[in-house]
Structure formats: structure tokens, C-alpha cells
Amino acid sequence: MLKFLSRPVSSLRKALEDKIVIDRERLTKLKKEHGTVPIDKITLDQMVRGMRSVKALLTETSRLDPFKGIRFRGLSIPECQVQLPAKYREPLPESMFWLLLTGNVPTQEQVEELRGELASKAKIPEKVKSLLASLPKNMHPMTQLSLGVLALGENSYFDVAYNKGMKKSEYWKPMLEDSINLVAKVPTIAATIYRNVYKDGKTIEPREDLDWAENYSRMLGWEDTNFFEMMRLNLCLHCDHEGGNVSSHAAHLVGSALSDAYKSYSAGLNGLAGPLHGLANQECLKWLLDLRQIVGDDPTEAAVEVYVRQNLRDGKIIPGYGHPVLRQTDPRFIAMLDFANKVIEDCPTLKAVEICYKVVPKILKDIGDIKNPYPNVNAIMGAVMYYYGLSELEFYTAVFGVSRSLGIAANMVWDRALGLPIERPGSLTLENLEEIGQKSS
């Protein structure tokens, strides 16, 4: 018998197994009764503009509403903040992971069980430590994070189970074990990279009595309880964002070929490292710091407006404003702003964030047809991390990547649970498009 199958059934595994039985039946019924029903149509313009808004993926964990923002298993961010178990005020990421996996709000006891399992598996093998220590300090943290994750794959339960001929209907079980192991160890890998690159190379071991976010924070080198709370919120806010963003889709695509969790998540990290996806936090912070240099630490709204309008006249964008799907202020921005207003005082960068929130949307509305002139989460997240002393901007994407492990891991389990096939869309040439265009004219 495979090693992981001999373990006692935890409440998470039992809850997930019960949910999978129900949802498999739902999907089978949908395919049988409505398999030929059109879901969406695609225009030539959508095809050559990144497939934006084309409904073509099955993702259970979250749904992005243009006017209400992200909903994790149907719950809004304010609802998650109220309903999910927390240590103090902000939800524990373990409770969010449970929600993404099962669709249910966990009890405090269930979260504690999951917390304990993740903490017990947080240490990384000596081989991985040695690999990370051998990497050049000038290698980007995201490259190092991707390599570290790949190195964990040597012990993939899924690979062993697949090679032993496990039934397809059981694939989700070893994928769950790999996913839990991945989520447990990613913060340790990221923190090891941080200590190697930016500090003295002396790593801080994870503790089995701490939650996921506090362990991560302490391994980075922080001991501030407000920083721990900020990280709990940060990691929850960035954990998932539907299935079509680059990191989530890349992981899903690679996983559809039955690659293990480590290869799939590593692919997602490589997508996240691209400047169009994962660099927004640091780009927004750079812009805010430049703003402060020009208008000072106590600017008026008028001074900020002059700076913003000059940026626009120079053909620059205002980073952190607008979103491809949202048509209102990003609820993740609101959540982090609310946190900052409660615990942070006298921060010039955050003051600039608030003034921009008042000024920038009005300006963007004035200048043309902009579908969303409002701030997204990136307009504030970098500023908050910077306030707490996490000032190494290149590392911000790695913080994002650790958070996204929760959503990617949950989706990998569900991809295997629902038996989703290898992804293989068709493609067309320019000549094909010309022929289609001519026929329609």
C-alpha cells in the first residue's frame, strides 16, 4: 500500500472526500444533460488580446465579480474576515486554505488541526537548503523560489502513485498530500532565500507551535505582532483570483499534463515573475516614493493632482489603478487600507496612498473612456510592507508567490478530483483569420 494511504483520515481529508463525491456527480450530470450548451462566444479581437474575459476554465475556488470583487467559495472579503477563524482580527491563511479546498468555513478545531499539520511539515530537506545556499546572491528571488520548489519534487507522492498504476479516480489523494507538503514548505524556502540574499545567511527554523503566517514572518526575521497580522491578511488577500490569471492558469495548464504539484506550481511562479503579472506591488511603491520626492511627505491634494496629471501628459500610467475585470475599487485595497488605518500612524507613504485614492480616480474619469479608474490592491500593498521594514522590492513577488500557493494547491487537487483532461485549445494562423473575416463581411 502507498505510504500516504495508510495514514489516519484527518477531518480535512474526510470533508474533501465527501465534497468530491457530490461534485463529481454534479459535473457528470452537467456533461450529460447540457454538454452541448454554448458557454461563451469569442471574437477575433478577444483572441488576439489575450483571451480576456473569455469563459473557458472550470475553477471552483474563487470567482471575480466586476462590481463586488473576488469571492472565495462565494464569500466576499468582508465575509471572510468575519467568518473565518482568526488568531486575532485577520483570518488565518490555514482557514482560507480549508475554505478553498472544501467550500466550507472550518471550525477553530479544524483550523488548528491543519495548522499543526502544516507546521509539522514546514522544515525543508538539507538537499534543498544546500541548493539554495549555492545559488548566486544576485539571482532573482523568484528564480530561486522556482528552483527550490522544483527540488522538493524528488519526494512527490503523486509521481510514485502514478508510476504504480493508481486509478485515475484516486489521483486527487496523492495530489492533496503533495499540495499540503508544498504549502507547508514554500514559506520556509522563501524565507531561506530572503536570509541568504538580503541578510547574513543565517536561517531561522520554523516552529511547530506557530501558524503559517507567523512562522513565515519569524523566519524572515520579524517579531512584530502587527506585522504578523498584516501578513495573515496579505497572504489571504492574494491567495486566489479565479483561474485565468497567468500564475493560476500556468499551474493548471502544466498540471493538466499530470505533472506533479511542484512542477505545476513552479510553472505558476515563473509566470508570476513576469513584469505584467507579479511586479505590480513594487512598481506601485516605486511610483509612490518618486511622488514623495517631488511633493514632500505632507502634500496637498492639489500638489498630488499636478504630479499625476504631469505623469499622464508624459504618457505614463498611474500604477495600481484600473483592473482588467473589476469596475469598482478593489475590495482587497479596502481591506488593507482599513488594516493600515487601525494600526499604522504617521506613515508618509500611506498618506500618499490615501491622497491618491481621493485624487486619481477623478483625474482618470476626466481624461477619457476608462472602464475602471479605481485602485487595486497593488496601490497599497507595497507601501504597507515597506512601512514594516520589508524594503527589498525584488522580494515582493516572492511574498505574492507564497500566498498564491494556497489557491494553486487547492485547484490542483480539484483538477485531479474532477478528472479534468489535458488542456489543448486549437489555434489559427493569420491567413485563417483573414478568411474568417472575409466570410463575415
pLDDT of residue 3: 57
Segment 186-201 mean pLDDT = 98
Beta bridge partners of 69: 65
pLDDT of residue 368: 75
pLDDT of residue 6: 46
Where are the chain's structural domains? 118-276+392-418, 277-388
Domains 118-276+392-418 and 277-388 share a fold: no
Segment 198-214 mean pLDDT = 97
pLDDT tens-digit readout, 83-92: 999 999 999 9
Residues 118-276+392-418: name the CATH superfamily. Citrate Synthase, domain 1 (1.10.580.10)
Task: Report the C-alpha gap between 10 and 175 in whole angstroms.
Answer: 15
Identity of the amino acid at 300? T
pLDDT of residue 9: 52
CATH of 277-388, one of 1.10.1740.10, 1.10.510.10, 3.40.50.150, 1.10.230.10: 1.10.230.10
Residue 131 has pLDDT above 60, yes or no: yes
Segment 340-356 mean pLDDT = 96
Does this model's pTM top 0.85? My answer is yes
pLDDT tens-digit readout, 22-64: 999 999 999 999 999 999 999 999 999 999 889 999 999 999 9
Identity of the amino acid at 190? A
Share above pLDDT 90 across residues of the chain, in percent, rounded to a whole number: 91
Share above pLDDT 70 across residues of the chain, in percent, rounded to a whole number: 98
pLDDT tens-digit readout, 135-173: 999 999 999 999 999 999 999 999 999 999 999 999 999
pLDDT of residue 441: 78
